[in-house]
């Protein structure tokens, strides 16, 4: 399995030395992923989807926001094309993570694809701030952090879906966790001091889409208008005024 640390990977001692610091570093994620994963499994089953979809997504997608959104779209009857487009847009934030991880992952060799696969918001948060303690192989530390995070998420998603199937858990309202998650990510974006005009454009695009598009096409309409609005701000404002600045 891809989640197991590969013992033959390097010359150092097996993963025991790295396990304790990795467990310590990922403890907050254990709390977060098991809780959110549980909610995800319950919401998935509650929206009429088969339970095995939950561990399947946890194993191969491993992206909280995208999984929640995918379940919402699947339950509302959206097509695979729409799911693809929204996944791409939602995951656009990952582009930034990768850029700042280029050097840290450089020595990972054949484990690198798994580290890249597992680069969630939370894993990124740990790996970009925590270094392996002295004497611990940094690659093994990063691998264990990533694998532990996925194990927590997988366990939460699986238990939640099974619990939702076994007993009629009242999951109504639990899907608000997704709304709260998006609000949290939005606050993070505001705190990251993004260009102010983006928030104005986004609000205007959302309003326009709310008025113009039917509710089930809201996401696509709002994203389309928003991206068009963004690109419009990049156009030179006065193309006719000749030779000022080429930018």
Partner 1 sequence: MTRLFAAVAVMAALTFLTRAAPFVLFARREPPALVVWLQSRLPPLVMCVLVADALKFVRFESTETWLPTLAGAATAAALHLAKRNALLSIVGATALFMGLKAWLGA
Identify residues 134-173 at the interface with partner 1 (CB under 8 A). Answer: 172-173
CB nearer to partner 1: give 96 or 166: 96
Q: How far is the CB of 74 from partner 1 (least distance, A)?
A: 6
CA dihedral 20, 26, 28, 31 (to 10 degrees): -90
The residue length of the chain stands at 247
Using CB under 8 A as the binding rule, whether residue 236 contacts partner 1 is answered as no
Using CB under 8 A as the binding rule, whether residue 60 contacts partner 1 is answered as yes
Q: How far is the CB of 223 from partner 1 (least distance, A)?
A: 6
Q: How many residues bind partner 1 (CB under 8 A)?
A: 84
Tokens 């309003």, residue? 207
Give me the DSSP letters along 143-178: HHHHHHHHHHHHHHHHHHHHHHHHS----TTTTHHH
Q: How far is the CB of 67 from partner 1 (least distance, A)?
A: 8
Per-residue tokens: 198: 């983006």
Using CB under 8 A as the binding rule, whether residue 70 contacts partner 1 is answered as yes
Q: How far is the CB of 44 from partner 1 (least distance, A)?
A: 11
Say how far residue 96 (Cα) sits from the centre of its chain.
12
Binding partner 1 by CB under 8 A: which of 40, 42, 87, 147?
87
Q: How far is the CB of 13 from partner 1 (least distance, A)?
A: 28
Using CB under 8 A as the binding rule, whether residue 189 contacts partner 1 is answered as yes
Per-residue tokens: 184: 């949290």
Using CB under 8 A as the binding rule, whether residue 12 contacts partner 1 is answered as no
Quick count: other Cβ atoms within 10 Å of Cβ 103? 7
Binding mask 21-50 for partner 1 (x = CB under 8 A): -------x--xx--xx--x---------xx
Binding partner 1 by CB under 8 A: which of 97, 162, 165, 169?
97
Choose among 26, 44, 30: nearest CA to 157: 44
Asked whether 80 and 198 are in contact (CB, 8 A), the reply is no
Asked whether 48 and 175 are in contact (CB, 8 A), the reply is no
CB nearer to partner 1: give 50 or 236: 50
Choose among 123, 106, 147, 143: nearest CA to 64: 123
Asked whether 218 and 86 are in contact (CB, 8 A), the reply is no
CB nearer to partner 1: give 20 or 106: 106
Binding mask 194-233 for partner 1 (x = CB under 8 A): xx--xx-xxx-xx--xx----x--xx--xx--xx--x---
Provide the 3-class DSSP secondary structure of residue 224.
helix
């Amino acid at each position: 399995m891809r989640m197991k640390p590969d013992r033959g990977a390097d010359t150092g001692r097996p993963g025991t030395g790295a396990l304790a610091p990795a467990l310590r570093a990922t403890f907050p994620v254990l709390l977060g992923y098991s809780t959110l994963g549980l909610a995800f499994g319950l919401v998935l089953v509650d929206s009429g989807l088969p339970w095995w979809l939950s561990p399947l997504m946890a194993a191969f997608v491993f992206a909280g926001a995208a999984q929640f959104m995918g379940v919402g779209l699947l339950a509302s009857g959206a097509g695979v094309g729409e799911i693809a487009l929204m996944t791409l847009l939602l995951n656009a934030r990952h582009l930034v993570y990768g850029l700042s991880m280029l050097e840290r992952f450089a020595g990972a060799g054949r484990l690198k694809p798994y580290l890249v696969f597992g680069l969630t918001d939370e894993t990124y948060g740990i790996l970009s701030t925590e270094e392996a303690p002295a004497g611990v192989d940094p690659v093994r530390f990063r691998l264990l952090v990533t694998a532990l995070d996925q194990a927590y998420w997988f366990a939460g998603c699986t238990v939640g879906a099974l619990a939702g199937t076994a007993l009629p858990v009242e999951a109504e309202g639990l899907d608000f966790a997704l709304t709260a998650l998006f609000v949290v990510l939005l606050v993070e974006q505001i705190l990251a001091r993004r260009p102010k005009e983006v928030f104005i454009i986004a609000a205007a695009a959302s309003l326009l889409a709310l008025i113009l598009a039917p509710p089930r096409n809201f996401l696509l309409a709002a994203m389309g208008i928003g991206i068009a609005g963004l690109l419009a701000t990049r156009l030179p404002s006065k193309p006719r005024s000749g030779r000022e600045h080429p930018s």
